[in-house]
Amino acid sequence: MTLSEHGQRWEIDALVAELRELRLQSLENRHRREHPPKLPSRKILSQIVDNLGAALFPNRLGMPDLTDEGIDYFVGHTLDSLLRQLQRQIGLELQFVAEQQGLSLDTRSQATDITRQFAAQLPAVRQLIDTDIQAAYEGDPAARCADEVLVCYPGITAVIHHRLAHVLYQLGLPLVARVISEVAHSATGIDIHPGAQIGESFFIDHGTGVVIGETAVIGRRVRLYQAVTLGAKRFDKDDNGILVKGNARHPIVEDDVVIYAGATILGRITIGRGSTIGGNVWLTHSVPPDSLVSQGQYRTEVFAGGGGI
């Protein structure tokens, strides 16, 4: 059967025409039917982050069998390639925003400058990630070495993505940053908004189901377990009933806090330094330093032959 005959069987021409009309209607509704701007590519950004990991940790995440003499060449070549790709993706976001706002900007020059600023922060990012890896190794008795933590733990994968995405978010690239965060979310089940501020030595153990909101602030040496939510209690609306964007609505977690599995902490509240939040706790109010918050106690009693009933 020929390609044309297959097309007739599935009525491809009619489907293409109908989908085209729906696409054009959608563009018309968003006032950009002519030449809609391209968006940053999730696939390319995922590759960029993988290559950034290889450049930051060439012996563990880079090419196999690198020699001491070849490591610097590998790192330099990898950085040069990925930063040029990142510059193009940054330019796409800048162009998209400019067109949305009806502006005409030199986005190429701006993208180059932002990429240069991002690159300059990579050594500091590497140092932060080192503290996260050490915190995971020290915090998990099942970890046999720091290298195992780096290559195996989903919490470290998510944190590496976040550290990189947060820098881009601070440089004014919320879309590129969000794409990078969502790549990690898809791979690990850990959802960290790139706007969240997270201090050094951060450890997410197990990790699946962890949610950390945009305006969350997390101090140093904080440990979270799976299914922890640092979320918003409510969403404020303006006089027209539209959600207010950007207001501080997520928790502040101070230094040396441990939050166990399934805990839900909502609103702009503060968890005081050195506190422990037990599993499955629902918390919507601040707690002072060195607090221990747990579920209400329960009793188990055995009644024999109806006694006590």
Average pLDDT, the chain: 90
Burial class of residue 263 in the structure, from the number of CB atoms within 10 Å of its CB (0-12 exposed, 13-18 middle, 19+ buried) = buried
Mean pLDDT confidence for 258-278: 98
pLDDT tens-place string over residues 73-97? 999 999 999 999 999 999 999 999 9
pLDDT tens-place string over residues 4-17? 555 567 888 899 99
What pLDDT is recorded for position 106? Answer: 79
For 277, the 3-state DSSP assignment is strand
* Domains within the chain, CATH numbers bracketed: 37-188 (1.10.3130.10), 196-294 (2.160.10.10)
Angle between helices 12-29 and 3-10 (to 10 degrees): 60
What pLDDT is recorded for position 308? Answer: 44
Position 110 confidence tier, pLDDT thresholds 50, 70, 90: very high
Burial 267-280 (b: 16+ CB within 10 A, else e): bbbbbbbbbbbbee
What pLDDT is recorded for position 304? Answer: 61
pLDDT tens-place string over residues 133-175? 999 999 999 999 999 999 999 999 999 999 999 999 999 999 9
Alpha helical stretches, state H, the chain: 3-10, 12-29, 42-56, 58-61, 68-100, 107-120, 122-139, 146-152, 154-170, 174-188
Mean pLDDT confidence for 230-237: 88
What pLDDT is recorded for position 4? Answer: 56
pLDDT tens-place string over residues 31-76? 554 566 789 999 999 999 999 999 999 999 998 888 888 899 999 9
Percent of the chain with pLDDT over 90: 72
CB of 158 closer than 8 Å to CB of 192: yes
Q: Is the predicted pLDDT of residue 309 greater than 50, yes or no?
A: no
Query: How big, in percent rounded to 5, are the helix, strand and coil portions of the chain?
Result: 50, 10, 40
Query: What φ, ψ does residue 237 adopt, rounded to 5°?
Result: -120, 150
What pLDDT is recorded for position 12? Answer: 84
